[in-house]
A and B are shown apart, each in its own frame.
Chain A
Amino acid sequence: MPEFLEHSGTSWQGQKVKHHRSIVDHIDPRLRVVMASLFALITVLSQSFLSLCVAVGVGLLLALLARLNLKRTLRRVLAMDMFMIFLIILLPFTTPGETWFSILGLSASKEGFLHAVVILLKAHAVVLTLLALIGTLSATVLGHALARLRIPDKLVHLMLFTVRYLEVIGQEYKRMRRAMKARAFVLRTDRHTWRSIGYLIGMLLVHSLERSERIMDAMKCRGYQGKFYLFDDMRLSQKDLTFSLIFTPVLCLLIGLNFL
C-alpha cells in the first residue's frame, strides 16, 4: 500500500483533527449512532441495485452535510478500496456462471461482476455514513452516547481509557523510535530489524503497564470506585425530531426498494 494511503495510527489525533462545524453536529449523538447503525444494517442486508445506489447517494449527501474534509475522506475511502480491490477483481473470474467476457483465456461471469459491484456499493455507502455521522463525534462524546444507549459500562470505560491513552502511548512510541533512529536504526527485511522491533514493542508494553499502575494509584487516591460519572445530559431537541422525520422515511425507502 502506498505510504500516503496508510492509516497512521501512530499519529492518532483523535479529537484534534480539524473539523468544520456543520448541521450534523447539532443532532444528538445517540440519535446519530442509532441511525448510522440502522442504515449500515439495512444497507448490508439489501440486495437490490436501486436500493444500494440510493444508499450510496444518502451516504454522499450525509458526507456533504457533515462537511467532511474532502482530502481526508478521499484518502480513507481509497485506502478501503485498496484493501478490497483484490477481492473485487477476482470475483468475476471465480464466480461460476455464463461467460460474459474473457481476458487471457480467463472467463468472467456476469454474476460475479454484479456481485463485485454490490459489495463495492455497500462498502462505500456504509463507510461514508459512518464517517459523516459517527466519525465527526469526538471520541469522548461517542463514549458517553454509547453509555446512554445501554452499552455495558465496562466496555465504555475501556473505550474511553483506550482513546485517552492512544495519544500518550503514541508519543511514547515516537520517542523510542527517535532514540533508535538516533542510533542509526533503519527498517530492513532481516532478523535484526524484527528483533529490534520486538524489543521495541516489548518495552512499549512494559512502559504502558507501569504507567497504568501509576494511573490506577492516582485514581484510587482520588476516590475511584470502579465508576465513572457521566455529567453531560443528552436531550432530544426539535432538530433531532426533524432529522428523525427525514431520515426514517429514507430508511423505509431503502427497505422498500428491495421489494420492488
Chain B
Amino acid sequence: MHIVDGALSVPVLAIGAVLTAAGVALGLKKMDYDHLPQVGVLSAAFFIASYIHLPIGFSSVHLILNGLIGLALGWAAFPALLIALFLQAVFFGFGGFVVLGVNTLNIALPAVLVYYGCRYGIQSSSPKVAAIWGAIGGAGSIILTTLMVAVSLMLSGEGFALAAKATFIAHIPVMIIEGFVTASAVLLIRKVKPTFLGLDEERVYG
C-alpha cells in the first residue's frame, strides 16, 4: 500500500507531509513518557504482524492491520506508523522517503477514524456485536486507506486514474481478510485482557 518516491505531485506531497506532521504532533502530545514503552512495544508487534503473508489463491497478501493499530493506540498510531514506515524505507528500501508523509497519512488517518468509530462498538457486552464492530474496523480501515491511496494518485495526474481503480479492486480480498482477522483478534483480546481495549472485566463477563 506504499507509494514510491517520484510518483506523486508536489502539492500532494506537501499536503501529506503537513497533515502527518500535525497528526504526529497530536499523537506525541497525547502520549506521555509513561506510555512510551507500551507504544514502542506495540508498534514493534504491529511491524512484525504486518509481515504475515496469508495465501489467497495462487498469490498471497500481507496484513496491514491499521484498524487494530487504531483501536489499540488511538492518536499514537500516527507516530507509531511513521516510525514503522521510516524504518522500512531506510533499512529495507521499501516505500519512499519524500512520500513518507503521504504514506503515513494514508495508513494512520483511517486508524484514528476507526478508533473513534468502533471504540464503543467493540466494548459491547455481546461478543457477537463486538466481533462485528471489529470486522467493520478491520475492513473499514483498509477501505479508507485504499481510497486515500487512490485519491493521492488521482490528484497527482489523470494518467493514474486506472491504476488507482485497479488498486482498490485488488485490495478487496485484503479488506475481507482483515475484517475476519481483526474481529478474531478483538474477540481474543476481550477475553484475555479486557483492559487493553478500555473494557472493564465486569462488562465482558456480565
Contact = CB atoms under 8 A, between A and B. Distances in A.
Interface of A: 1, 6-10, 12, 14, 36-37, 40-41, 43-45, 73, 76-77, 79-80, 83-84, 86-87, 90-91, 93-96, 112, 115, 118-123, 126-127, 130-131, 134-135, 139, 142, 152, 154-155, 157-166, 168-170, 173, 187-189, 191, 193-206, 208-213, 215-216, 219, 225-227
A158 B158 contact: no
B188 interface: yes
Contact of B98 (A41, A79, A87, A225): A41
Interface of B: 2, 4-7, 10, 13, 24, 28, 31-34, 36-45, 47-57, 59-60, 62-63, 65, 68, 72, 79-80, 82-84, 86-94, 96-98, 157-163, 166, 177, 180-189, 192-193, 196
B131 to A, nearest CB: 10
Given A94-B159, A189-B56, A203-B192, A194 B184 contact: yes
Contacts of A37: 97
Given A44-B6, A187-B55, A158 B40 contact: yes
A216 B34 contact: yes
Given A79-B94, A154-B33, A198-B185, A159 B86 contact: yes
B181 A155 contact: no
Contacts of B193: 206, 209-210
A241 B151 CA distance: 43
Nearest to A39: B97
B177 to A, nearest CB: 6
A226 B37 CA distance: 10
11 contacts: A9-B48, A12-B48, A73-B93, A83-B94, A122-B6, A130-B93, A135-B93, A162-B84, A169-B48, A195-B180, A199-B188
Contacts of B183: 198
A212 B37 contact: yes
Contacts of A91: 159-160, 163
B160 A94 contact: yes
Contacts of B96: 40, 123, 126-127
A121 B5 CA distance: 10
A4 B10 CA distance: 34
B79 A212 contact: no
A94 B160 CA distance: 7
Given A9-B48, A162-B44, A191-B180, A154 B79 contact: yes
A9 B196 contact: no
A123 B49 CA distance: 27
Contacts of B98: 40-41, 44, 126
B47 A7 contact: no
A23 to B, nearest CB: 19
Nearest to A197: B181
